[in-house]
Every structure is written in structure tokens, then in C-alpha cells.
Structure 1
């Protein structure tokens, strides 16, 4: 297999395609549709609606904080590269490595979650349309493995030659949103009252109402899962210093517009909340059927959302493989000398893609063994992602947002006072959600309903330590660094990544 140098990859994405990729993964309105039952249990309609406002403001702060850094250091490593730049010298290796492992696990968990949802969608469609068909766990398993395999084959053989795939996925997402949104408004008759939608709290969690609302935030956080996708594709994008920051903030804007509008329309449209919360059916389909007042219409729309879901899996696998490639390029993973290679014919990190597929596939076997354990992996995606964001934001605050790290010439910048406010708000939100996401969803709890996110975090820590001692301890040094002549010995060492733009060259980034 022929390979090109590990630090080089061809640029094939423009700003529009990058935005399409980022939003296809977030797919905010579809995320709300798929988690409505959880939202109704943890606070009801008003909590769902208002939690979207809170999570949007928080993720806008998070994305703006990272966008400032990405406008100066647009590399595939994203947040762990920022960490390496901002951390004190004695902590640089350890902190950046930890951030990279957290980011890698967040993307693996994102891929697992969208793949299992696609499988459940397909089987819900089959069971609804086929009399007497009962969905078994092994049915879901084989669909899951099929989606994962199909996506990795497309990523390996076709996606690089057809980058417009993400544009098609984006167009399909927007069209389906408009069809669903308008149809819910038109066909739902009678609609729920304004009081039900805007002023109804339903607390079935056993927690006090305040904690219940915070638990409900976890649902709306899923709207923005994968918001960092554009950072990890930066080295395959032309003019990444401008495109990546705009994409991150733009994905939040589109996500809020579609997600909030769909949530309001769907809550107005449902007519039997009790059925939704107690049903053993696949809830997103039941919600859609209630809202549209038609099983046939719901079946047709679900069929198209399965196609849409395939675009999400493809995009998430692509981004995950770039995260693997970035870590391997910095010698952070076992078998890095293979994982860092870019195939010269296919122009993709083929071994990185294979590793992502392998890990996703193995999680499918975990689903067969224990659905509770599998769900813990799916649920951990948000906390892994947020923790990986928190590290560089905290370090940026510790560096007092110095112009040494955020030069005034950057293409995306916030006024200093606003920057401080946004960074502190983002870090405070992540700190709060780290605690909330580890709480059991209901009280009292038992082995089946316990929140095992903390266990998954522990396993991630164990994997990171094993990989560190077996490989990274002696080989990983973070991204290649070069000290600027006009800086003292302690502040930033500047990131050096091959084939970056002229703007980075001026900053001694080679």
C-alpha cells in the first residue's frame, strides 16, 4: 500500500461543505425528535423548551471560545492541540494527551450512538409495517453492524472523491425538517394548549424540580453533539482560519433554529403524553405518528430519516478517523506508525478508519451482552466531549487570554471583556453538567436504571493509562513545537503542522 507523508493531506473541503458536515452530525432537530420521551419525563414540555435556550447559550459560548483558538491554530487535533499550546511546559504532555483521549472517546461514542439509532429506526419501520414481527436484540445488532460496515466502505472508497456527499446530507436534513415542521403545524388538530407547552412541569424523576430541570438539560445538549467536527477536518479545508470558526458558530445557529422550532411544533402536536411515556414502542415513531395523525405519513417520513441517518454515520466516522490520525501523527496511540499513514491512492487515513470501524463494531457485541452497558457508552458522549472542551478553555483563562496565544490579527475574535465572560460561562456550564450527567436519571435507582457514565469514564481512564505506559509515555510529545524568538521561555511554544496557511507561517507554524 503506497502512502504519502503522515503530516500531509489534500484539501478538498470548502467552507460550505464544512458547515454541511458539521450540521449533519449535530442534526439538532432530529436529536430532539429522538429524545422527546426522556425530555418529557425529566421536566415535561416547559423544561424541554427552556432547556434548549439554556444549552444553546452555553454551546454558543463553548463554540465561540474554541473558535477563537481555531482561528489561530486550525489543525486536525483541535482541542488537544490547543491544550498543548496553552499548557505550562511541565504539564503539556500529560494534559494534551488526556484531552486527546477524551476527544477520541467522545467521537467513538458519537458514532456508536448514531449507528444504534439508525438501526432502531429501520427495525421500527419494519415492525410497524409488518404484522406480527417482533424486534429482537440480535436484529438490532445485525442492522447496527451493517450500517457501520457500509459507512466505513463509503468513507474509504468513495467519500474523498465525492465531498458533495455532505451537501446532499445537509439538503436532505433541511428538507425533512421543513416537511416535518410544516406537517406538524398543519395536521395536528386539535393542538395542545399554550399553558401545556410553555408552563407545564412534569417531574417523574424523583429528584427536586431544580435538579430535574438540570437533568433535562442533558437532552438539549445532544442537539450540539459533534459541534467540534469542523476543527478535526481543518487540514482538509481551504482557508481553515476563517472557515472553521464560522462553521462552529454557524452550526449552533442552524441547530437552534431547527431544533427549537421542531420541539415547539412537536409538543403542540402530541395529544397523548401518557402513551408516549409508558409505551414500549420505539418512541420517536410514536411521537411522529401522534403529531402527524397518520401512521402512513409517519412511516414515509421515518424511511427518509433512515437515509438521513446514514449521512450522519458517514460524517461521524470520517471525523473520528481524523481524530485517530491526528493522535497517531503525534505518536499518541499504540500502532501509531500505521494509524498515521494516509493512503496515496485513496487519500484517507485508512488504518484510522479501520480502527474506528473496529471499535464501533465491538460495541455492537456489547449491545448483545448488556444493553445497559451499551447505553452507558451512548450516554457518555456528551460528557467526554464537554470535558475535552473544558481543558483548553480553562488554560486560556489561566493564560489571561494573552495576545501571545490569541494574536489581535486572528480572523475570529471577541472583545476582551466579552471573551472573559464567554469563557467563564462555558467553563461553568461544563463543570455543572459534568456532575449532572453522572447522576442517576430517577430515584430510587437500581442496577438497571443506574447511570453508569462514571464507570465508562473510569474505563476511559484505564485505557488512557494503559496506552500511556505501553506507548505514549516514551513517544508522545504533543504536536511538534517551536519556540518563537520574541517569547520568553515559559509562554507558548507554537504549534508546527505541515502544509498550513500563510497566516500560520507568520506565527512560526511550519
Structure 2
């Protein structure tokens, strides 16, 4: 096969010249037929229904992040890391970095819009000599990242819902439902089963569910910020405290404490590239998905600030919040601000519902990422996982595989009270690695293929690439660290263990099978389509 730098157009329904015309001179048509033709030119048979518009893709991307819910379940990390400064400025800093990641991925996705996402992109952009191993590394990282982030969302939902119920107390400081480990695990199982059932059985309704989630989020956030600021039963801080107060409580040195506290923002924004897995269910993926990725990060940044700033204004005693056994301070913050259990529970209800919607969206992304990697032989017993259920129009087997792995990893909770830290940490690490792979090979290759898409950012794109790669180098060791020290057997961060475990599985499978039999995605004579159109 020739190098990717020797790309050329193919005589297929998806071949376009630089003026946006097909090779036969007909104008480009924005419809599923053209998108399917492009997919065929990239080497795949269309198997999924293209039922999502640009807005619906953006809505799904927004739901995957689920800003108010994601920030709520991980609120403990910036509280330990440094308090107000970590919460506000940490969020803004990470959001700007993730915007660079999103822009970098958007450029590449405009050229390679397939459900394989960053895995396929890494293969196509890499030099021929290294493309198999790069794609293998990226593919496993992407699949593991999707699965562990979904696990973190569903497990975090279980813990959050229990904390919401416990705003009702049977005695001061004692909630009405002090769940044991096995009860928490059973709630996690129920949420996981529900998310998989909805994703599998209601595929055609999922775009509408994502749309509903947008309005639900807006209404919920407005209710929260208005009520906590107006009532503020526990008092209000001044602006100086909100924007300048920095009190590390993690036990780490000051600078590192701030960095470890960034897990809240990193976890919430880690879903940035997950929506790429939906490329084969979008009518015009080379345009719609890049727009959705970047637009959603901007929207999420604003939504996060709108949600966080009012919460920080009414923060009660931080040491007491950090010491909560549940690890979920937001319900306690709400109760302090509202002054009664019923009112705070009603304000938390929109976040609990959004948690379930986020879980459904993540489950959908998991099934597509597993399916896409399996159809290229990257997973053991791929023939089972690459099948699309014709009745449901979803890769049901791949979805079930993801669910089983999530449940198995969830058992870690019986050995560590901070298991959520491991789930969220390894999810951020592996997704960050997977995003870095195509960005790195594109950058090192001189960004030649970006010019063949319709989303080339030029010099700005180079800057975004550098920022994205620098963040990736920092994130891997950073989120392997425990959120606070000293560490006990119950509070140790199992993220490195889970991460290394998956690395070993991927390595062994490569040497047992992949080294001789894995060839990577189909390349159609190594062709890369020039699908650039005028305008965006």
C-alpha cells in the first residue's frame, strides 16, 4: 500500500473535487445517499440508519458531557484541590484546552467521518510502517475510554441518587438511606440495565430524547441558580472569595494539588470525541460532526460557568463537605442553600434525570465504538461483536459486551470506597490517549491530509494541535494519582491498575493474534477522498 501522502480520489459516489462537485460534474447533495457513498469510498458498507441532523448531533454531544450533572458528581475533587479557584478557573482553563482538542479532532473528522473515529483516523494518517500498531493502540484506548467513562457515569449516578435521597434525614447528619456497598452496586446495576435497554430498544427515539435533555437541562439549571442565590440560607460569599480563594486540602504540594483538582473538568469534558462514533448515523458527517464537537465545547464552557459560579457563592464549610462519606457534596450544598430537604430534593431531581440521560447517551457511544473496532478485527471474537441487529438497527452484541465489562469493573467498589475515582480517572486517561493518537500523527506528518477536508484551521490548527498534545502528556500521570494523601488501602486510586490491565490485555492479544492477522481498516487502495467544499 502506498503512503497516505500519495492520496488520490476514487471513482465512487462520494468522490468530490475542490469545488464541491462530484467527479461526474453533478453538484454535491446533502443527503444520506451521498454520505453513504463517501463511507463506501472509505471501505465500509453502510449498516446503520442516518437519522440525526446537525442539531441532534450537537444535542447528543451536549448530553454526553451533561455539564451540571458531570460537574456535580465530581465536585469533591476541586474542593480538595484548592476550593473556589480550582472550581472556577480550573474549569475555564481545561475548557479552553479541550476546545483545542475539539478543533484538532474536528479538522481530522472532516476528512475521515466514520464510526471508527480516532482509531480509523490514526490508521489512515500514520506512515505505512507504523499504522497497524498506532491504530491498535488508539483503538483499544478509545474503546476502553468509552466503556470506563460510561461506567463512571452510571456508578456516579448511583452514588449521586443515594446522596439526593439522603437530604432527608432521620437525625441531624444521618440520611434516611445509608446504602451499603452491595446496595450501591445494585442501584448501579439497575441504572446500567435501564440505560442499555433504552439505547437498544429506542434507537429511533434517541435523537428526540437528546433534544428533550437540552430543554430539561436549561430549566433545571435556571431553577438551581435562581433558588440558591435568592434563598442562600447558609449565607453568601463575596466575589473576592469566589474568584480568588485558594485553600488546598489534598495534602499534595500547592501546584500539584491544583492540577489533581482538575479531574472534575477533565472528566466532564472527556466525552468530546465520543460523538465521532455516531458519524455513520449522521446525514452529512464531514460537516455536521466537526461543527457539533466544537460548538458543544463552547456551549459547555458557558453552561459550566453559569452553573458553577452561583454554587461557589453559597458554598458552606468546605472541610465538612470534603469529609462527607458519600463523596457527593452538591446535595449538601443545595440543602444548605435552600434550607429544607424537600426543596433541595426537588432542585436535585433535574440533575438525577440528566444523569440517566447521560448514561443512555454514553451507552450508545460505547456500542458504536466497540462495533467499529470489532468489524476490523481489533477485539477477540470480533465476528460476534461486529453484527448489527436488523430488528433494532443497533450493534446489540457490542452493546452487551460493553455492559458486561462495565459490570465486571464495577466490582472494584467492594474493595475500594474511592472506586469512582478509578473509573473516572482511567476513562479520562484512555480517551485522552485515543484523542492524542490521530492529532500526533497528523501533526508529525505536516497536517497534509487536513487540507483535503473542509475544516482546515491553518495556523490556528497548528496551535490547537500543540496545546492538545501537551495536555495529553500531562493528563496521563496526573489522573493516576490519588486525589488526596495520605493514602489508605480503601482510598487508593485504582486507575493505574485498570489502565495497566487493559494495556496488558491489548498487548497479549496483539502478539497472540493481531501481529499476524490484524491488517487494520479497509483503505480502498489507500485512497483518501478530497471532500472539501466551499464554505462550512
TM-score of the pair, normalised by structure 1: 0.90
Q: Please tell me whether residue 154 in structure 1 is matched to residue 187 in structure 2.
A: no
User: What is the CA–CA distance in structure 2 between the aligned matches of 1:255 and 1:92, rounded to whole Å?
Assistant: 34
In structure 2, the residue matched to 1:329 is 375
TM-score of the pair, normalised by structure 2: 0.85
Instruction: Summarize the Cα distance change of 1:126–1:425 in structure 2 as closer, same or farther, 3 Å threshold.
Output: closer
After superposition, the C-alpha distances for 1:152-188 in whole angstroms (9 at most, x for unaligned) are 1111112235531111122212221221122222222
Secondary structure in structure 1 of the residue aligned to 2:271: coil
User: How many pairs were matched up?
Assistant: 483
In structure 2, the residue matched to 1:224 is 269
Among 527, 533, 536, which residue is 1:494 paired with?
527
User: What is the CA–CA distance in structure 2 between the aligned matches of 1:90 and 1:184, rounded to whole Å?
Assistant: 58
In structure 2, the residue matched to 1:262 is 307
Measured after TM superposition, the shift of residue 225 of structure 1 is 2.1
The answer to whether the 8 A contact 2:228-2:337 is kept is yes
User: What is the CA–CA distance in structure 2 between the aligned matches of 1:87 and 1:318, rounded to whole Å?
Assistant: 28
In structure 2, the residue matched to 1:487 is none
In structure 1, the residue matched to 2:106 is 67
User: What is the CA–CA distance in structure 1 between the aligned matches of 2:490 and 2:471, rounded to whole Å?
Assistant: 28
After superposition, the C-alpha distances for 1:399-452 in whole angstroms (9 at most, x for unaligned) are 1112xx1125x222212x222111111111211222222233334434333333
Measured after TM superposition, the shift of residue 369 of structure 1 is 4.4
Among 177, 181, 190, which residue is 2:225 paired with?
181
Among 245, 261, 278, which residue is 2:290 paired with?
245
In structure 2, the residue matched to 1:401 is 447
In structure 2, the residue matched to 1:24 is 63
Instruction: Summarize the Cα distance change of 1:50–1:127 in structure 2 as closer, same or farther, 3 Å threshold.
Output: closer
Q: Which moved more, 1:453-462 or 1:99-108?
A: 453-462
Equivalent runs, 1:46-125 vs 2, <5 Å:
46-125=85-164
User: What is the CA–CA distance in structure 1 between the aligned matches of 2:111 and 2:462, rounded to whole Å?
Assistant: 18
The answer to whether the 8 A contact 2:80-2:484 is kept is no
In structure 2, the residue matched to 1:386 is 432
Secondary structure in structure 2 of the residue aligned to 1:102: helix
User: What is the CA–CA distance in structure 1 between the aligned matches of 2:528 and 2:280, rounded to whole Å?
Assistant: 14
Show structure 1 runs of 4+ deviating over 6 A.
none
Q: Please tell me whether residue 163 in structure 1 is matched to residue 207 in structure 2.
A: yes
Measured after TM superposition, the shift of residue 384 of structure 1 is 0.8
Among 394, 411, 432, which residue is 2:474 paired with?
432
Q: Please tell me whether residue 477 in structure 1 is matched to residue 522 in structure 2.
A: no
User: What is the CA–CA distance in structure 2 between the aligned matches of 1:181 and 1:128, rounded to whole Å?
Assistant: 18
In structure 2, the residue matched to 1:467 is 509
After superposition, the C-alpha distances for 1:309-353 in whole angstroms (9 at most, x for unaligned) are 111111100000000110011111112112111112211111011
In structure 1, the residue matched to 2:34 is none
Measured after TM superposition, the shift of residue 43 of structure 1 is 1.0
Among 458, 466, 487, which residue is 2:500 paired with?
458
Q: Please tell me whether residue 193 in structure 1 is matched to residue 193 in structure 2.
A: no
Measured after TM superposition, the shift of residue 374 of structure 1 is 5.8
Secondary structure in structure 1 of the residue aligned to 2:48: coil
Equivalent runs, 1:278-427 vs 2, <5 Å:
278-281=323-326, 282-373=328-419, 375-402=421-448, 405-408=449-452, 410-415=453-458, 417-427=459-469
After superposition, the C-alpha distances for 1:124-175 in whole angstroms (9 at most, x for unaligned) are 3344447353211111111111111111111111223553111112221222
The answer to whether the 8 A contact 2:78-2:258 is kept is no
In structure 2, the residue matched to 1:508 is none
Measured after TM superposition, the shift of residue 368 of structure 1 is 3.1
Secondary structure in structure 2 of the residue aligned to 1:342: coil
User: What is the CA–CA distance in structure 2 between the aligned matches of 1:10 and 1:397, rounded to whole Å?
Assistant: 33
User: What is the CA–CA distance in structure 1 between the aligned matches of 2:499 and 2:424, rounded to whole Å?
Assistant: 12
The answer to whether the 8 A contact 2:155-2:420 is kept is no
The answer to whether the 8 A contact 2:252-2:484 is kept is yes
Among 189, 205, 209, which residue is 1:145 paired with?
189
Q: Please tell me whether residue 503 in structure 1 is matched to residue 503 in structure 2.
A: no
Q: Which moved more, 1:467-476 or 1:210-219?
A: 467-476
Instruction: Summarize the Cα distance change of 1:427–1:264 in structure 2 as closer, same or farther, 3 Å threshold.
Output: same
After superposition, the C-alpha distances for 1:256-292 in whole angstroms (9 at most, x for unaligned) are 1111121111000123223212233542211221233
Aligned-pair Cα RMSD in Å = 2.1
The answer to whether the 8 A contact 1:6-1:342 is kept is no
Measured after TM superposition, the shift of residue 228 of structure 1 is 1.1
Q: Please tell me whether residue 442 in structure 1 is matched to residue 475 in structure 2.
A: no
User: What is the CA–CA distance in structure 2 between the aligned matches of 1:82 and 1:312, rounded to whole Å?
Assistant: 26
In structure 1, the residue matched to 2:24 is none
User: What is the CA–CA distance in structure 2 between the aligned matches of 1:161 and 1:338, rounded to whole Å?
Assistant: 26
User: What is the CA–CA distance in structure 2 between the aligned matches of 1:72 and 1:256, rounded to whole Å?
Assistant: 26
5+ residue gaps in structure 2? Answer: 1-43, 171-175
The answer to whether the 8 A contact 2:416-2:492 is kept is no
Instruction: Summarize the Cα distance change of 1:354–1:458 in structure 2 as closer, same or farther, 3 Å threshold.
Output: same
Instruction: Summarize the Cα distance change of 1:265–1:241 in structure 2 as closer, same or farther, 3 Å threshold.
Output: same
Instruction: Summarize the Cα distance change of 1:279–1:377 in structure 2 as closer, same or farther, 3 Å threshold.
Output: closer
Instruction: Summarize the Cα distance change of 1:82–1:152 in structure 2 as closer, same or farther, 3 Å threshold.
Output: same
The answer to whether the 8 A contact 1:87-1:95 is kept is yes
The answer to whether the 8 A contact 1:269-1:292 is kept is no
Q: Which moved more, 1:185-194 or 1:86-95?
A: 185-194
Instruction: Summarize the Cα distance change of 1:81–1:495 in structure 2 as closer, same or farther, 3 Å threshold.
Output: farther
User: What is the CA–CA distance in structure 1 between the aligned matches of 2:267 and 2:466, rounded to whole Å?
Assistant: 22
User: What is the CA–CA distance in structure 2 between the aligned matches of 1:371 and 1:274, rounded to whole Å?
Assistant: 19
Instruction: Summarize the Cα distance change of 1:441–1:37 in structure 2 as closer, same or farther, 3 Å threshold.
Output: closer
